[in-house]
Chains A and B, each alone.
Chain A
């Protein structure tokens, strides 16, 4: 499987993402935000960090960068995309995922490992888990408070598009939502960091299954 990791000024989880993807067996290309075209890849990963210093709103400036037009085109062609943390914020700002991420309800930056519930295994990202599994992923964000209007929320639940929820909601997200899927289930946005949970020496390996499952699905595709 070929994957691209987008690098914005202020990205800081881009190399972690590349390491996690490579460990699962992907060929990884790093792509600078000023590039207008993506290489031919199966998956685009939009990493965590503080792109453009979180100016205006988290992810808002990145969403207007040249490469994001390429990311939108990739997704519209049916390509896969994974946005983690700031990457999730970028994907909501581009409109590829519904809703928005607001300032944490407690106003504090939260940096700790949290327990998540896997809500659906019906996606390439979560097929290696079983719905109802709990996993421990780190979170590190100031603006992870997911919100969406009532109609959108009902759609997410009705279409089984909530991928992960928090066991103990740290940030005020509506219905404890930690990660959601797009309508075609090929785009996952989540605040917690699976790529920081792929090495036993770094506090856990619960994220490995996400990358392993993704590689398995996309390599067979």
Chain B
């Protein structure tokens, strides 16, 4: 089985990289880009039957820093 973990800065945490991307899109002439948030995607190839709880522990212990980041798991 495969799982895809999306890690994003929490709402309210300033994302300077997202702001820089937003600015660059504006420079390229794209209008109406009101906000950009940058995160990361981590794909896991897991033994069949790995529980959602185990994947959540992987996120909590390592994949996301829950002080500043939130995560979402998508089982593929």
Residue in chain B with minimal CB distance to A57: B65
In chain B, residues 34-76, which have Cβ atoms closer than 8 Å to a Cβ of chain A? 61-63, 65, 67-68
Partner of B68, one of A56, A102, A107: A102
Chain A residues contacting B13 (CB-CB under 8 Å) are 102, 147
In the complex, what residues of B have CB within 8 A of residue A104's CB? 16
- Tell me whether B16 and A107 are in contact (CB under 8 A): yes
Determine whether B14 belongs to the interface, using a CB cutoff of 8 Å to chain A.
yes
The tally of residues in A whose CB lies under 8 Å from a CB in B reads 20
Taking CB atoms, residues of chain A closer than 8 Å to B25 are none
B9 proximity list for chain A (CB < 8 A): 102
Known: A100-B68, A102-B68. A56 touches B62 (CB 8 A): yes
Binding site for A on B (CB under 8 A): 9, 13-14, 16-17, 20, 61-63, 65, 67-68
Is there contact, CB below 8 Å, between B67 and A107?
Answer: no
Main secondary structure of the interface of A (DSSP, over half): loop
Enumerate chain B residues within 8 angstroms of A149, measured Cβ to Cβ. Answer: 67
In the bound complex, residues from chain B placing their C-beta under 8 Å from that of A100 are: 65, 67-68
| 26 residue pairs bridging A and B, Cβ less than 8 Å apart | A56-B62, A56-B63, A57-B65, A60-B62, A64-B61, A64-B62, A92-B67, A93-B65, A100-B65, A100-B67, A102-B9, A102-B14, A102-B16, A102-B68, A103-B16, A103-B17, A104-B16, A105-B16, A106-B16, A107-B17, A145-B16, A147-B13, A147-B67, A148-B67, A149-B67, A172-B14
Which residues from A are CB-within-8-Å of B61?
Answer: 64
Q: How far is the CB of B27 from chain A (nearest CB, A)?
A: 15
Which residues of B lie under 8 Å from residue A10 when comparing CB positions?
A: none
- Kindly supply a per-residue 1/0 record for chain A positions 170-198, scoring 1 wherever the CB is within 8 Å of any chain B CB and 0 otherwise: 00100000000000000000000000000
Query: Once bound together, how far apart are the Cα atoms of A98 and B14, in whole Å?
Result: 18
Q: Within the complex, what minimum Cβ distance (angstroms) separates A152 from chain B?
A: 9
